[in-house]
Amino acid sequence: MNELSKETSPYLLQHAQNPVYWKSWSSDTLATAKNQNKLIIVSIGYSACHWCHVMEHETFEDQEAAQTMNQHFINIKIDREERPDIDAVYMKAVQIMTGRGGWPLNVVCLPDGRPVWGGTYFRKEEWVETLEQLQKLFESNPEKMIEYAEKLHLGIESLNLIEKKTNTDLGHEILETLLEKWTKSFDHDFGGMARAPKFMMPNNYKFLLRYGYQTNNKELLDFVNLTLTKMAFGGLFDTVDGGFSRYSVDMKWHVPHFEKMLYDNGQLVSLYSDAYKLTKNPLYKEVIEKTLNFVSTELSNNQGGFYCALDADSLTKNQHLEEGAFYVWKKEELQLILQEDFELFSQVFNINDFGYWEEGNYVLIQKETLEEIASKNQIESHLLQAKKKSWEHLLYKEREKRSKPRLDDKCLTSWNAIMLKGFVDAYKALQDENYLEIALENAKFIIKNLWTEDGNLFRNYKDGKSTINAYLEDYALLINSFIALYEVTIDEKWLLNAKQLTDYCFEHFYDSEKSFFAFTSDLDEALISKHYETEDNVIPASNSVMAENLFVLSIYFENSYYEKVVQEMLQNIIPNIDYPSAFANWMNVFLHFSEQNKELAITGKDTKHYIKTIHQDYLPNIILAGAEKHSLLPFLNDRFVENETLFYVCQNRVCQIPSRDFELTLSELKY
């Protein structure tokens, strides 16, 4: 075994028996490279990554490849989920060098860590040949490599430059201009963007749903609902046991890249919960319930924590690892399970050319609603709904006999926070108390295991150990989930926790010159370049989440400095947006400053009842606070009156005369 046998990351442990002398990233490893004057190979992946496994099997398990790597290089293996800071820096380098990125991510660096060459997946022959050429060049002409590394390093640093704007008059008409550009890439047949592969990007639809709602844009709302419906119908969503895969390789959300990630499912539950509140579409409720059942059953430990992911690959009957083996079906297999119902099942789930994948395998996908299929077959739609449920139960029992995908059982703070908020948002929409209990248990798990007495967070929890100093992503998303917990419990300890973590971020992450927060704490060892995460991706940028947090906390705590920082961040981001889908969460924060945004304070003994009622409505433009007694929260100061339930509607820190009429108050808030 190599040194990775000492690690806890499932991804690193998968490589512990490779003949490559892998080391983990550490100051000792980097010092060894400098002392021995050896080039460094940095290879980055994650446990659910299919092509990472392929390259491991073809190359890193191969003796010839290992010999080349061991003889000339210091070899470092990194789990990108544990170390997004390292991944971000080297991803920038590879994107500059090749114009694209992805995983596995493989970089060759000088002994000081500066990259000189890189790419993603390589076949063994190309990999070995390239390494040998790089080693010869390093021996014969190191100055040439150093010169290139310096130029590349300048390129990486330039990506951190954000043009500072001051006194820009930002009007909300800029959003109309951006939306006009964005809509040109919409897929009006299957929803989402008109390209493949197709990623779900929940923060995109969170913004589009809100913007459509606040501007009464029916076309936009219809597009969001088309997207959510087609995603739920697609093979991307596991209709048998709930949960979404990471993306689909095609335009119709059919064939997924089969890994299931916690962060996707947490955000999608929040998104479908919002959409359900607006539409009351029973399909969305089904998606929420199935997904949360999947997370509770397959991605939860017995301490309240959530695991990271299920692998894309699983073992076939022949004990061969194949992508999607656990999820796909042969026609003959389905005929045997479903018997006389097979023909009707085939209409619902397209056991035909539309639902065919490859090598005799079908991935279940719906094309039409159950109502349409019921009408064609002259049966009651509720009977077809019952049949569908029964079929899914049969397939679930049959599928459980198969070898399950491998589990990545580490718990990451930020991903747990995303899932915590998913449970809170589902509780708001469906009023299922069990969801709130699970969210509270997860919050306790995080506080107990991942928040230290010194005030900092850990990134990772595995096998009873918490490791790695947390990143801005962890703080931002946890603050966000604590605010969400306050909104449903009106327990002010969650806001105080959120504020404590926020102030810690100002102390250790905030760069006042750039007006943004760095991704890594000033207590961490410096990498070759500092990273400021500003583009929203599959997970929204940690800076945009912090901006959202600061806006809400500025109201609760009447903190003008928080608001000033948000405005500075928006001043620097909004005018520079070129590609709207990469800044959707920023645009959502920008909407907080619109005329439609309001605050609502409820005080009195019936506060919780009214809070619960309000949460069933889609009101994305409302900041909500409540108290059943006198509160020390600045926003609620002097608002409590004994034996009264009062409703205060406020805007820009100016409040109307309190009302005692809930229905009238609610009508003022709705569109």
DSSP string, 467-513: EEE--HHHHHHHHHHHHHHHHHH--THHHHHHHHHHHHHHHHTEETT
Question: Do 543 and 417 share a structural domain?
Answer: yes
What would the pLDDT profile of 6-47 be if each residue is shown by its tens digit? 999 999 999 999 999 999 999 999 999 999 999 999 999 998
For the beta carbon of residue 219, count every other beta carbon within 10 angstroms: 10
Q: What are the beta bridge partners of residue 41?
A: 75, 108
What pLDDT score does 126 carry? 96
What is the tally of structural domains in the chain? 4
Look-up: residue for tokens 């930020």?
A: 414
Asked if residue 163 belongs to a domain, the reply is no
- Report d(CA 69, CA 77) in Å as an integer: 12
Q: What are the beta bridge partners of residue 247?
A: 199, 257
SS3 content of the chain, % helix, strand, coil (to 5): 50, 15, 35
Asked if residue 380 belongs to a domain, the reply is yes
Question: Do 479 and 535 share a structural domain?
Answer: yes
Q: Using DSSP, state whether 83 is helix, strand or coil.
A: coil
Question: Do 149 and 103 share a structural domain?
Answer: yes
Asked if residue 318 belongs to a domain, the reply is no
What pLDDT score does 166 carry? 64
197 cis-preceded (ω within 30 degrees of 0): yes
In the numeric block, which tokens belong to residue 632?
């020390």
Question: Do 438 and 544 share a structural domain?
Answer: yes
Question: Do 479 and 556 share a structural domain?
Answer: yes
Type and span of the H or E element at 224: helix 218-233
Question: Do 483 and 394 share a structural domain?
Answer: no
Asked if residue 165 belongs to a domain, the reply is no
Indicate which CATH number applies to the domain containing 582.
Answer: 1.50.10.10
In the numeric block, which tokens belong to residue 492?
């002010």
Domain boundary among 104, 130, 158: 158
Task: Tell which residue, 300, 308, 545, 310, has the closest CA to residue 441.
Answer: 300
What pLDDT score does 168 carry? 64
Amino acid at 539: I
Domain coverage including residue 609: 598-669
Question: Do 258 and 135 share a structural domain?
Answer: no
Task: Tell which residue, 46, 120, 122, 30, has the closest CA to residue 78.
Answer: 46
CB of 520 closer than 8 Å to CB of 472: yes
For the beta carbon of residue 557, count every other beta carbon within 10 angstroms: 18
DSSP string for residues in 156-168: HHHTT------S-
Type and span of the H or E element at 105: strand 105-109
Question: Do 152 and 187 share a structural domain?
Answer: no
Please give the C-alpha separations between residue 287 and each of 284, 311, 585, in angstroms, as whole numbers.
5, 21, 23
Indicate which CATH number applies to the domain containing 105.
Answer: 3.40.30.10
Task: Tell which residue, 41, 48, 217, has the closest CA to residue 131.
Answer: 41
- Report d(CA 40, CA 76) in Å as an integer: 7
Q: In what order do the strands lie in the sheet with 465-469?
A: 411-412, 458-462, 465-469
Report phi then psi at 39, rounded to 5: -65, 155
Asked if residue 164 belongs to a domain, the reply is no
In the numeric block, which tokens belong to residue 227?
């997207």
Helices 262-279 and 282-298 cross at an angle (nearest 10°) of 150
- In a 13 Å sphere around the CA of 326, the CA atoms on its Cβ side amount to 25
Strands 510-511 and 22-23: unpaired
- Report d(CA 498, CA 501) in Å as an integer: 5
Please give the C-alpha separations between residue 487 and each of 262, 308, 492, 624, 665, in angstroms, as whole numbers.
23, 26, 9, 7, 18
Domain boundary among 556, 591, 626: 591
Q: Using DSSP, state whether 394 is helix, strand or coil.
A: helix
- Report d(CA 192, CA 204) in Å as an integer: 9
Classify residue 39 by its DSSP letter. E
Query: Which are the contacts of 562, defined by CB distance < 8 A and separation ≥ 6?
Result: 502, 550, 551, 553, 554
In the numeric block, which tokens belong to residue 378?
């002259």
Question: Do 145 and 12 share a structural domain?
Answer: yes
What would the pLDDT profile of 594-649 be if each residue is shown by its tens digit? 988 999 999 999 999 999 999 999 999 999 999 999 999 999 998 999 989 999 99
Question: Do 369 and 489 share a structural domain?
Answer: no
Classify residue 60 by its DSSP letter. I
- Report d(CA 138, CA 38) in Å as an integer: 9
Asked if residue 548 belongs to a domain, the reply is yes
In b/e form, how buried is each residue of 389-420, taking b as 16+ CB within 10 angstroms? Answer: eebbebbeeeeeeeeebbbbbbbbbbbbbbbb
Specify burial of residue 217 (Cβ count, 10 A radius: 0-12, 13-18, 19+).
middle
- R_g of the chain computed on alpha carbons: 26
Question: Do 17 and 68 share a structural domain?
Answer: yes
**Residues making up the chain, counted from first to last:** 671
In b/e form, how buried is each residue of 96-105, taking b as 16+ CB within 10 angstroms? Answer: bbeeebebbb
Domain boundary among 376, 401, 426: 401
CB of 209 closer than 8 Å to CB of 621: no
Tell how far CA 83 is from the center of its chain: 15
Question: Do 279 and 337 share a structural domain?
Answer: no
Classify residue 57 by its DSSP letter. I
What pLDDT score does 568 carry? 95
Residues of the chain with pLDDT under 50: none
Asked if residue 321 belongs to a domain, the reply is no
What pLDDT score does 583 carry? 97
For the beta carbon of residue 330, count every other beta carbon within 10 angstroms: 13
In the chain, the N- to C-terminal Cα span, in Å, equals: 63
In the numeric block, which tokens belong to residue 366?
């719906």
Read off the pTM: 0.95
Asked if residue 602 belongs to a domain, the reply is yes
